Amino acid sequence: MNATRQPGKYDLAKTAANHVPLTPLSFLARTAAIYPNRIAVVHGERRTTWAETYARCRRLASALAARGVGPGDTVAIMSPNAPPIFECHFAIAMVGGVLNALNFRLDAATVAFILEHGEARVLITDREYSTVMAEALALLPAAKRPLVVDVDDPLAPPGRLLGDIEYEAFLAGGDPDFAWSMPADEWEAIALNYTSGTTGNPKGVVTHHRGAYLNALANVTAWGLTTHPVYLWTLPMFHANGWCFPWTVTALAGTHVCLRRITVEAMLDALANQGVTHMCGAPIVVNMIASAPTIPDLGGRTVRIMTAGAAPPAAVIEATEARGFHVTHVYGLTEVYGPVTVCAWQDEWNALPAPERARIKARQGVPYHSLEGLMVADAHTLVPVPRDAATMGEVFMRGNAVMMGYLKNQAATDEAFAGGWFHTGDLAVWHPDGYIEIKDRSKDIIISGGENISTIEVEDVLYRHPAVLEAAVVARPDAKWGETPCAFVTLRPDSIATEEEIITFCRANMAHFKLPRTVVFGPLPKTSTGKMQKYVLRDRARAL
């Protein structure tokens, strides 16, 4: 119960001495001052110390400022897990700018929409993605074209340069002693991340310095991290800012081991040769470890894996831990900076059989320290459901780890925050011990390899095929990807099309990771009012 606060003797003023806005930028300055000679970033054969990394970030900030980038300006980057995207997590905010990390799996039309909607003033782009980026830039009006900075990474596959200047030359023009500023207000935006919703155009999630600072530290407590972790980047840094781990690992003066391409071979090599202690990823990454033919000798160390996305199958968790790894299951969304719940482990569970331990660990768990409220409740009344592990409701959240809102979309923001809670759209049950367990997604979003796929976007493409009369897309469980799109299609009378033809058509019209992997032909189930019964189709997809 909230009471009206009356002025009193403890109403003392905020001053420069007792109040500084929270920002993860302070992590970099502190670590560089205390551990200047420790290795900060590993990229192939290249090693960069914390003193060198801090200087590079300041150079980039200085170069951006010289090009007119300032408070509230957007800087976009299209990059794999390599030093430039890590440096952008600090440098852009140093001048008050907002980082927009782009999903490198997106198609040109979506990238063009994001660049225009986010009003990117500068685009930093790795040469590996030159084909799609050239197409995206061509779709922009000339007046909306950003300054383009090319990253000519020696480890990148062949690709052409598109821009006005190369990244290293851009940094060379900057000042390594640039006097950057803390944000005037910790509520200022630090990042803009676009997430697939239930419509084709993605929504721009705006997050602030305070939330990034708090969730970065909450990662420490949720995972039991200590100083100097060696963190392998198997999670894309574009994905909810790498779940805040660019800032978390920096706060602990750890080592960021970059991985351009996430393959079993690359992961095993890093595990064998880089002293990796921690890594994150969607269940597909965990499954790659569980399914690897052999695991290198880890020298007695236990590598800890944090996973989220589609709920990891208990069998995958069990198989991974049997190989000497320790799995921590978390849950979150782009709108809450990545993970904000954790399946916090209880000592008494250690005595349970391995399959039972894995089943418990597959639950989404309890709130992070940065999340003030978590409940499973009726979607309309916001009345919490019984903690009986059976009654389903929607997952609701509130606290400092919730986004500021959606960019230029007040209606969607108001809908997401209705009733004073963030509506996740995920359906779950609440266990007697307070742990939540997700059962379904009310928005029909498919999570494949940790990436969101809008079923409506895929359906829109299917409907463009001349032989398709009706189409509906649902998630089909997949051992490797967690889920893949399964398309149910009714053809037009006298029309003929094969599964291969439908998939080929989709491949020409959307990002390849969104492709239906399965196409089933036949009439579609509908209600009496003509609404598609997707729950029937989901059951069919599970049974395939």
User: pLDDT, tens digit, for every residue of 130-153?
Assistant: 999 999 999 999 999 999 999 999
Nearest alpha carbon to residue 164 among 117, 121, 108: 121
Of 154, 151, 156, the residue nearest 168 (C-alpha): 151
The answer to whether residue 399 scores a pLDDT higher than 70 is yes
Reported residue count of the chain is 544
Pair type for strands 74-78 and 304-307: unpaired
Residue 108's contacts (CB-CB under 8 Å, 6 or more residues apart) are 132, 133, 135, 136, 139
Report the amino acid identity of residue 230. Answer: V
pLDDT one-digit tens code per residue, 25-82: 999 999 999 999 999 999 999 999 999 999 999 999 999 999 999 999 999 999 999 9
- Any idea of the CA torsion for 126, 260, 337, 25, to the nearest 10 degrees? -70
Task: Give percent of the chain above pLDDT 90.
Answer: 74
* Paired residues of 98 in beta bridges: 74
Report domain extents, the chain: 367-441, 446-543
Cα dihedral across residues 508, 509, 512, 514: positive or negative: negative
Q: Residue 201: what pLDDT?
A: 77
Q: What's the angle, vertex CA 252, arms to CA 246 and CA 254, rounded to 5? A: 70
The DSSP H or E segment spanning 240 is helix 240-243
User: Rounded to whole angstroms, what are the CA distances from 255 to 27, 40, 81, 317?
Assistant: 14, 5, 14, 26
Tell me the pLDDT band of 528, cut-offs 50, 70 and 90: very low
Classify residue 224 as left (phi > 0), alpha (psi -120 to 50) or beta: left
pLDDT attached to residue 113? 96
Q: How far is CA 158 from CA 106, 129, 131, 137, 378, in A?
A: 19, 10, 11, 19, 52
Domains 367-441 and 446-543 share a fold: no
Predicted local distance difference test score (pLDDT) of residue 310: 62
If one compares 24 and 294, the residue with the highest pLDDT of the two is 24
| Nearest-angstrom CA–CA distance, 92 and 75 | 7
Query: pLDDT by residue (tens digit) across 414-425?
Result: 999 999 999 998
CB proximity list for 114: less than 8 A, separation 6 or greater: 76, 100, 102, 106, 120, 194, 202, 204
Mean pLDDT for the stretch of residues 155-167: 93
pLDDT at 1 over 70: no
Q: Distance between CA atoms of 87 and 82, rounded to whole angstroms?
A: 9
Of the chain, the end-to-end C-alpha distance in Å amounts to: 51
Helix (H, G, I), strand (E, B) or coil at 444: coil
Burial of 176 (0-12, 13-18, 19+ CB in 10 A): middle
From CA 279, how far away is CA 297, in angstroms rounded? 17
The domain covering 367-441 belongs, at the CATH homologous superfamily level, to: Luciferase; Domain 3 (2.30.38.10)
Residue 154 pLDDT > 90:
yes
State the residue for tokens 């959307």.
510
Structure tokens at 540: 């069919």
Q: Where are the beta strands (DSSP E) in 221-377?
A: 230-232, 255-257, 278-281, 304-307, 326-333, 338-342, 366-367, 373-377
Helices 209-223, 25-34: axis angle to 10 degrees equals: 60
Q: What tens digit of pLDDT does each residue of 349-395 get?
A: 999 998 899 889 889 999 999 999 999 999 999 999 999 998 989 99
Q: Are 66 and 74 in contact (CB under 8 A)?
A: no
- pTM higher than the cut 0.75: yes
Percentage of the residues of the chain whose pLDDT score is greater than 70: 96
Between CA 451 and CA 18 the distance in angstroms is 42
If you write DSSP's letter for every residue of 351-409 in order, what string do you get? Answer: GS-HHHHHHHHTS-BEE-TT--EEEEE-TTT-PBPPSSSS--EEEEEESTTS-SEETT-
The CATH number of 446-543 is which of 3.40.50.2020, 3.90.550.10, 3.30.300.30, 3.30.565.10? 3.30.300.30
- Cα torsion for 289, 292, 297, 300, to the nearest 10°? 30
437 bridge partner residues: 429
Q: Which two tokens stand for residue 405?
A: 């809102």
Q: How many CB atoms lie within 10 A of CB 378?
A: 14
